[in-house]
């Protein structure tokens, strides 16, 4: 596992967190129970805190970083697809961030929202809860009721189960 301190600040990682080989965690980072960081992803907490909520998954090749004054906070049961860039933003509980999305400093994504693959959220964008957001620059295309949570939570649950399996069964050969 690749964990590093920066200026004597170490990541705080619960015991049941899965961090895949090749993933890196450094500095002011907190990973809560059941969360997972997948292959070749990076959480670099060298400016502000990066906090990752329970059962949140950050999939392969994704990057989380901050700027001074812009912490990165991911709520519970957030799914971050492959190859995303999350920079100094707030993502509330039960969101799904599509593959290849870029979310810039100061963005706020409301609970239960889905960010479509390849979307780019510009600095300071605020997304209401239960929104479908797509495009570059990203725009709200429609809103959902809370029944969308069933699908979003299923995605997070699948990755939580997979992470638990990998913690027990993944072996270097």
Each domain of the chain, given as residue ranges in start order, spans: 2-168
Convert the pLDDT of each residue in 67-114 to its tens digit.
999 999 999 999 999 999 999 999 999 999 999 999 999 999 999 999
Domain 2-168 has CATH 3.80.10.10: no
Q: Collapsing DSSP states into helix, strand and coil, what is residue 82?
A: coil
pLDDT, position 1: 60
DSSP bridge partners of 25? 3, 43
Compute the distance between CA of residue 88 and CA of residue 86 in angstroms, rounded to an integer. Answer: 7
Q: If you average pLDDT over residues 161-172, what whole number do you get? A: 96
Compute the distance between CA of residue 142 and CA of residue 58 in angstroms, rounded to an integer. Answer: 25
Q: What percent of the chain has pLDDT over 90?
A: 98
Going by the DSSP 8-state scheme, the letter that residue 9 receives in this structure is B
């Amino acid at each position: 596992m690749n964990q590093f301190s920066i200026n004597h600040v170490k990541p705080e990682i619960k015991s049941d967190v899965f961090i895949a080989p090749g993933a890196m965690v450094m500095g002011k980072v907190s990973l809560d129970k059941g969360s997972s960081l997948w292959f070749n992803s990076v959480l670099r907490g060298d400016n502000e805190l990066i906090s990752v909520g329970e059962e949140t998954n950050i999939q392969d090749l994704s990057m989380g970083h901050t700027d001074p004054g812009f912490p990165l906070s991911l709520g519970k049961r957030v799914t971050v697809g492959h190859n995303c860039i999350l920079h100094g933003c707030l993502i509330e509980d039960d969101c799904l961030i599509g593959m290849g999305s870029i979310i810039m400093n100061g963005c706020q994504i409301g609970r239960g929202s889905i960010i479509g693959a390849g979307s780019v959220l510009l600095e300071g964008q605020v997304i209401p809860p239960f929104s479908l957001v797509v495009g570059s620059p990203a725009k709200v295309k429609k809103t959902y009721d809370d029944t969308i949570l069933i699908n979003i939570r299923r995605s997070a649950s699948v990755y939580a189960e997979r992470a638990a399996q990998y913690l027990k069964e993944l072996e270097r050969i």
